[in-house]
A and B are shown apart, each in its own frame.
Chain A
Amino acid sequence: MSATAVTSAPPPSAAAPSAPAWRSSGALGLGIATLWLSIIVLLPLSAVVVRSLDGGLGAFWDAVSSRQAVAALRFTVLVSLATAAVNVVGGTLIAWVLVRDRFPGKKVVNALIDLPFALPTIVAGLTLLTLYGPRSPFGINIAFTQAAVLLALLFVTLPFVIRSVQPVLIELDREMEEAALSLGARNATIFRRIVLPNLVPAILSGAALAFARAVGEFGSIVLISGNIPFRTQVSSVYVFKLIESDAPTSAAAVATVLLLVSLAVLLGIRALGHWGARHDR
């Protein structure tokens, strides 16, 4: 997946004259496509919000403010923030090495970055459990700990910051760095004052995408975390438990909160896209 695909706001100068040829059939096509989008996505998601109120505002509030719900949400947000933070550092580092360094096998490594996009989350969870759980060949057992959740999230969110930063790094005007060199700056200064400021929007978008993904992640966590309430239970698993206990309204309430978080992050990413392009001309 191109991580940048979500972040790119349409270029401001994209005048899009509609080709006269397709106008009528085009409008029909667009209508059907929008209908498709509505039925597949909008309808179900609105059901979550609407039906969360099935039992009234009181029941909604009870479900959302229960101790377990709050604990799950708190843990989810914290561990997702941690994931984003680690990715900011690790992802930028890896993107740097992939763009600026040369070594045998670099192309293979570059391709493997997308593995978490291609691999089913349950398989990811199983392999991490195998490696860092009770039967670990390294003797490292962190199963059923909060660290395990972080680990799983780092796996599935690996590509986001990397793929967001790479194109910006590739496009970066090397002459800016040479100009700074000629003006007397050392490498550390150049990185800090020239390269990094230009990478910040991309890093933040990637981090926001990673955060959004981490907040909702389920498959990779469900095996390794043990889902211990108040310790390693994330909101998505909590919702799952509510569904299984036949409490769909409560589940919908907690899910609505999660939806709001997702929406906020999505809007933030769009704003970041605009902000990042402010100096481009």
Chain B
Amino acid sequence: MTVDRRWRISLRVLALGYLALLLLVPVGLIFFRTFEHGVMGVWESITTPAAIHAFWLTIEVTAIAVPLNTLFGIVMAIALARGNWRGKGLVNALIDLPFAVSPVVIGLSLILVYGVNGWLGGALADAGIQVIFSVPGIVLATIFVSLPFVVREVTPVLREIGDEQEQAAATLGAGGWTTFRRITLPAIRWGVAYGVILSVARCIGEFGAVSVVSGKISGQTETLTLLVEKRFANFDLAGAYAASALLALIALGTLLAMTMIKPRREEGDA
């Protein structure tokens, strides 16, 4: 149907207006408010020891969670797309859970297992390992929330391209690992890349679950997102905006990466 001009313009205005009010104006405002009083203040704000620590902690946690989930994601994607095994449907459904469960519930669930009174917490404490209110807890929470991304991006790619190439490689004498390394992996690399980017964004942005398990100890278990909240609670608005601006910048960078890679992942092998 070719919509006539008046309708088309009105629809466009409505849609763009909604987006502007909900999306663009708020984000634009962060940057405005942040730099309202000059760049120097902002710089100082994000280079305080607490801020620097928060930044590196966030990076560290992400650097642990993402590779682990990527490995899991690739293995699971291959199993889901290529295999036929008992329980496949159930596992497939379970993988979606981190998308559907509230971050606070996730945090609570970790406390109930790894907290001092938790199922494993007591034994771990005896062994000298503290999970809750310590970095390992944050890592576990972050792994939980970012678990499904790589699987969900790679599985459809694997299904699309089929396994004929892998079969051909087998007939030509390639063993399992060689086939994986030289045939499968190159074919899924853009799907993996996209999944990784989504995971990274999720890890950096996680708030609710981490809020519950971390104890928010400044300079020790405070991530960037927790820092924003803390500063806000302490009426350090400028500081909160500064940290937010940093996070927003990272988010925009993520968005850029997503936009560039999105069209590639459908090709299977660019």
Contacts and interface: CB of A to CB of B under 8 A. Distances in A.
Indicate whether A and B are direct neighbours in the complex (CB within 8 Å): yes
Interface of A: 1-2, 5-6, 8, 10-11, 14, 16-22, 25-26, 29-30, 32-34, 36-37, 40-45, 47-48, 51, 90, 93-94, 96-98, 100-101, 103, 109, 111-124, 126-128, 130-131, 137, 151, 154-155, 158, 177, 180-181, 187, 190-191, 195, 209, 212-213, 215-219, 222-223, 235-237, 239-240, 243, 248, 251-252, 255, 258-259, 262-263, 265-267, 270
Interface string B166-197: 11011000111101100000000000000000
B179 to A, nearest CB: 5
B12 A97 contact: yes
Q: Which 6 A-B pairs have the closest CB atoms?
A: A216-B102, A120-B205, A44-B109, A218-B208, A219-B207, A21-B176
A107 B151 CA distance: 27
A29 B179 contact: no
A5 B183 CA distance: 24
Contacts of A255: 102, 104-105, 108-109
B99 A41 contact: no
A109 B19 contact: yes
Given A18-B84, A47-B119, A266-B93, A155 B23 contact: yes
Contacts of B153: 2, 5
Given A154-B22, A236-B208, A30 B244 contact: no
Contact of A239 (B92, B105, B156, B166): B105
Contact of B163 (A19, A235, A248): A19
A51 B117 CA distance: 11
A236 B29 CA distance: 28
Given A218-B207, A255-B108, 6 more contacts: A16-B81, A19-B179, A30-B79, A119-B248, A120-B224, A243-B104
B18 interface: yes
Please classify how large the interface on chain B is, using the bins under 10, 10 to 19, 20 to 34, 35 or more: 35 or more
Interface in B1-45: 1, 3-4, 7-8, 11-12, 14-16, 18-19, 22-27, 29-30, 33
25 contacts: A14-B159, A21-B174, A40-B140, A40-B144, A43-B119, A45-B105, A48-B105, A118-B254, A119-B251, A121-B208, A122-B244, A123-B247, A123-B248, A124-B26, A131-B25, A216-B104, A218-B211, A243-B107, A248-B117, A252-B108, A252-B112, A255-B102, A255-B109, A262-B101, A266-B93
Interface of B: 1, 3-4, 7-8, 11-12, 14-16, 18-19, 22-27, 29-30, 33, 68, 72, 75-76, 78-85, 91-113, 115, 117-119, 140, 143-144, 147, 149, 152-153, 155-156, 159, 163, 166-167, 169-170, 174-177, 179-180, 198, 201, 204-208, 211-212, 224-225, 228-229, 232, 240-241, 244, 247-248, 251-252, 254-256, 258-259
A116 B159 CA distance: 28
Given A44-B113, A93-B11, A126-B232, A117 B201 contact: yes
B247 A1 contact: no
A10 B206 CA distance: 30
B101 A216 contact: yes
Contacts of A11: 159
Contact of A266 (B14, B97, B169, B174): B97
B184 to A, nearest CB: 9
A41 B166 contact: no
Nearest to A103: B12
B19 A112 contact: yes
B175 to A, nearest CB: 6
Contacts of B247: 119-120, 123
B1 A177 contact: yes
A115 B27 contact: yes
A44 B30 contact: no
A270 B84 CA distance: 19
B103 A21 contact: no
B91 A34 contact: yes
Nearest to A177: B1
A259 B225 CA distance: 25
Nearest to B79: A30
Nearest to B143: A40
Contact of A131 (B29, B83, B85): B29
A21 B104 contact: no
Given A1-B198, A120-B204, A36 B72 contact: yes
Contacts of B211: 218-219, 240
B82 A45 contact: no
B105 A47 contact: no
Contacts of A48: 105, 108-109, 112
Nearest to A195: B1
A268 to B, nearest CB: 11
Nearest to A19: B166
A262 B101 CA distance: 6
